[in-house]
Amino acid sequence: MTAMKLRIGFLASHGGSNVQAIIDACKEGRLDGDPRVVICNNSDALVLERARKAGIATRHLSSATHPDPGALDAAIVETLRSHDVNVVVLAGYMRKLGPRTLAHYRGRVLNIHPALLPKFGGAGMYGKRVHEAVLAAGEKESGATVHLVTDEYDQGPILAQRKVPVMPDDTADSLAARVLEVEHQIYAETLARVANGSIKLEGL
């Protein structure tokens, strides 16, 4: 088992509470990680504010800054490389990663999904829709999944899962809040296991 400091590059779109949980874990010594840069496709997202407060570099990269998808992909990988990132963390990133970024960081891109994959994943399954689908299916439990990112939505190898109960009076919002709490725990814990070598990622 080889321990290794993670130099983390985040991609996020909105609030960034998962990014915050990981930043906090690094600060508090629960994760041997160095948050290097937060890339966001929305220039006014709260996640950028969180990053600035924590003294982490930020970049707004989107179809607004780079209308050509290939150029956007190249700018993303260039930004990550220029900050010497060795692991990429998607946290509520609402876009698909381009082929260059995926190729450069193959096997070293993690994502979190707010359900127990392989159930309730795939294209179109994001945000509130996931929790609505879980409730509509009458599931007794849901949870969060940390997985590696491949070319297919939500289909990469699963690294960690944690369950939460579904309550009879749950709404999509109440279930989402319960799931989000465990997301914050397992994302940082899984990265800590990568950092201490108990999860081995190809190319790290």
Active-site amino acid positions: 113
Angle between helices 128-136 and 172-195 (to 10 degrees): 110
Contact between 190 and ligand GRF per CB under 6 A: no
Contact between 14 and ligand GRF per CB under 6 A: yes
Q: Which residue reads 């504010």 in tokens?
A: 49
Contact between 96 and ligand GRF per CB under 6 A: no
Query: Smallest distance from the beta carbon of 21 to ligand GRF, in angstroms?
Result: 8
Q: Cα 155–161–163 angle (5° rounding)?
A: 125
| Residue 16, CA distances (Å) to 27, 33, 45, 144, 151 in order | 16, 17, 8, 16, 23
Query: Smallest distance from the beta carbon of 71 to ligand GRF, in angstroms?
Result: 25
Nearest to 10 by CA among 120, 105, 150, 145: 105
| Residue 99, CA distances (Å) to 84, 109, 113, 138 in order | 19, 12, 21, 37
At residue 40, the 3 state secondary structure works out as: strand
Query: Smallest distance from the beta carbon of 184 to ligand GRF, in angstroms?
Result: 8
Radius of gyration of the chain (CA): 16
The single residue among 77, 180, 194, 201 that binds ligand GRF, judged by CB under 6 A, is 180
Contact between 6 and ligand GRF per CB under 6 A: no
User: Which residue lies nearest ligand GRF, judged by its C-beta?
Assistant: 92
Select the span of 112-120, 134-142, 147-155, 195-203 touching ligand GRF (CB under 6 A): 112-120
Query: Smallest distance from the beta carbon of 93 to ligand GRF, in angstroms?
Result: 7
Contact between 41 and ligand GRF per CB under 6 A: no
Contact between 156 and ligand GRF per CB under 6 A: no
Q: Under the rule (CB under 6 A), what is the footprint of ligand GRF? A: 12, 14-18, 91-92, 112-114, 180, 183
